[in-house]
Amino acid sequence: MGFLDALPLTVMDWLRGLLGQGLPAWGVELVVGLIKVVLILVVAILPVIVLTWLERKVLARGQDRFGPNLAGPYGLVVAFADAIKILTKEDIIPQAADRQVFRFAPALVLIPTLLVFTVVPMGRGMIAADLNVGILFAVAIGSLAVIAIIAATWSSGNKYSLLSMFRSVAQLVSYELPMAFSVLTVVLVSGGLSTVRIVEAQVIPFALVMPIAAVTYFLASLAEANRSPFDLLLGESEIVAGHNLEYSGMRFAMFYIGEYAHIFVIGALTTTLFLGGYQGPILPGYMWFLIKTMAVVYVVLWIRCTWPRMRIDQLLDFSWKLLVPLNLANLMLVALVFKLAGTGLLGSLLSLVVNVGLLVAVGTFLVRRARSSTSRRTRALVLGEV
């Protein structure tokens, strides 16, 4: 570990020493714990400020326009302008709303996302709580976000919100499964649920060892964060931004903060699970973590600015008929490969071969089926006949 790499840890140790002179041991732990909490809040909220700007800028560039460029240099402080605007808005609660739940739901949106950050290793030794069930915790807590959405939609007393809720529940239940399978594949290979262990096991990033799992995880987490092309929950062209339709002012902003924090979580977890986390040459670990995470975040935004939305039945079909069986097969094959060839370079290489082979097999199967199909849509999608 270089000096820069270890700098945050050195600072923390120095702080511990300093506190140890005046406080008992439990007091030191308490203060250090509180500092960690504050740091996590900063790490979770800072990306929100950056992403508010970045999303608009990326979308604008994709659309051949400038995006925010008046508030500060390159429009960088647009998030603060937003915050001021939103804080001065009237807080409206509809008559038909279930008042208590309606007020509580926005607070609930952010909590699961913040909790996930506790198990993300952001650099060497830089993790708030290295749980031995880390990734299980992340998956379990991540899926709690749906509770907040159900609370918000149901309490709004709006039919559009109701439709949004139906969609979101169906979507989240369906995408938990492929996500769990892809995570399971990673756990199987790394031999532990701890996130630090998963990162350390990636001599070669898992995205190169099992691309199927990596892509599935990415897509499933897009669905879980309700991002395009799975943003059915919002569906502004048909259900007019569904779940946050009746919200205004700061409560509305909470949904956005939650969404942006969630995007950052997608990036962080994808990095941890598949891109080798904080590992990388030359630069310190936390820099690598940040670079990789922001790269994934950029892809999320890029997808948003290019793809249309899927339909709800197609979305479910895609999960249940393609992602779930594919990942189940992938899980078994990868398990077999690593059992036979070991987790070394040979195993990794064979796993990649098996992954590609599986994709080719599925592709061939789909093409064959499409050739004999009479459905115009199937033929157009698979064979490109229009």
Partner 1 sequence: MAFISEPRSLDTETVTINLGPHHPSTHGIFRLLATLDGETVVDVQPKMGYLHRGIEKIMEQRTYIQSIPLVDRLDYVCPLTNEHAFCHAVEKLAGLQVPERAEYIRVIMAELTRIMSHMLAVGFLWNELGATFTPMIYAYRQREFIFDIFEMATGARMFTNYMRPGGVAVDLPEGWMDLAVKVTDNLERFFDEFETLTAENEIFLARTIDIGVLPADLAINCSLSGPVLRASGVPYDVRVAEPYSVYDRFQWEVPTRPHGDTYDRYLQYLAEMRQSLSIVRQAMAALPDGPVMDEKARRLRPPKGEAYARIESPKGDLGFFIVSEGGAEPYRCRVRSTAQINLTALRQMVIGHTLQDLVVIFGSLNCTVADIDR
Give residues in contact with partner 1 (CB under 8 A).
Answer: 59, 62-65, 159-160, 162-163, 166-167, 228-229, 231-232, 235-240, 304-314, 375-377, 380-381, 384, 386
Nearest CB to partner 1, comparing residues 90 and 313: 313
Residues 64, 68, 72, 78: what is their CA dihedral angle, to the nearest 10 degrees?
Answer: -150
State the nearest-atom distance from the C-beta of 376 to partner 1, in Å: 6
- CA-CA-CA-CA torsion sign (130, 131, 135, 137): negative
Minimum distance, C-beta of residue 345 to partner 1, in the bound complex (Å) = 35
Query: Measured from the CB of residue 386, what is the shortest distance to partner 1 in angstroms?
Result: 7
CA-angle at 366, arms to 339 and 350, nearest 5°: 20
Distance, CA of 1 to CA of 42 (rounded, Å): 25
Nearer to partner 1, 32 or 215 (CB): 215
Q: How far is the CB of 135 from partner 1 (least distance, A)?
A: 30
CB of 162 to partner 1, least distance (A): 7
Between residues 71 and 312, which has the closer beta carbon with respect to partner 1?
312
Nearer to partner 1, 74 or 302 (CB): 302
Strand, helix or coil at 360?
helix
Query: 313, 279, 35: which is closest to 174 by C-alpha?
Result: 313
Asked if 51 and 297 count as a contact pair (C-beta separation under 8 A), the reply is yes
Q: Judging by beta carbons within 10 Å of its beta carbon (0-12, 13-18, 19+), is residue 98 exposed, middle or buried?
A: middle
Assigned token pair, 156: 């709004």
- φ, ψ of residue 153 in degrees (nearest 5): -70, -45
Q: Choose between 227 and 251: whose C-beta lies nearer to partner 1.
A: 227
Task: Between 106 and 242, name the residue whose CB sits nearer to partner 1.
Answer: 242
Name the minimum Å distance from CB 278 to partner 1: 32
C-beta of 234: minimal distance to partner 1 in Å? 9
Omega before 229 within 30 of 0, i.e. cis = yes
Q: How far apart are CA 29 and CA 33, in angstroms?
A: 6
* Shortest distance (Å) from residue 240 CB to partner 1: 6
Residue number, 117 or 160, with CB nearest to partner 1: 160
Q: Which is nearer to partner 1, 77 or 312 (CB)?
A: 312
Taking the CA atoms of residue 78, residue 79, residue 83 and residue 84 in that order, the dihedral angle to the nearest 10 degrees is: -30
Closest CA to 266 of 224, 231, 234: 224
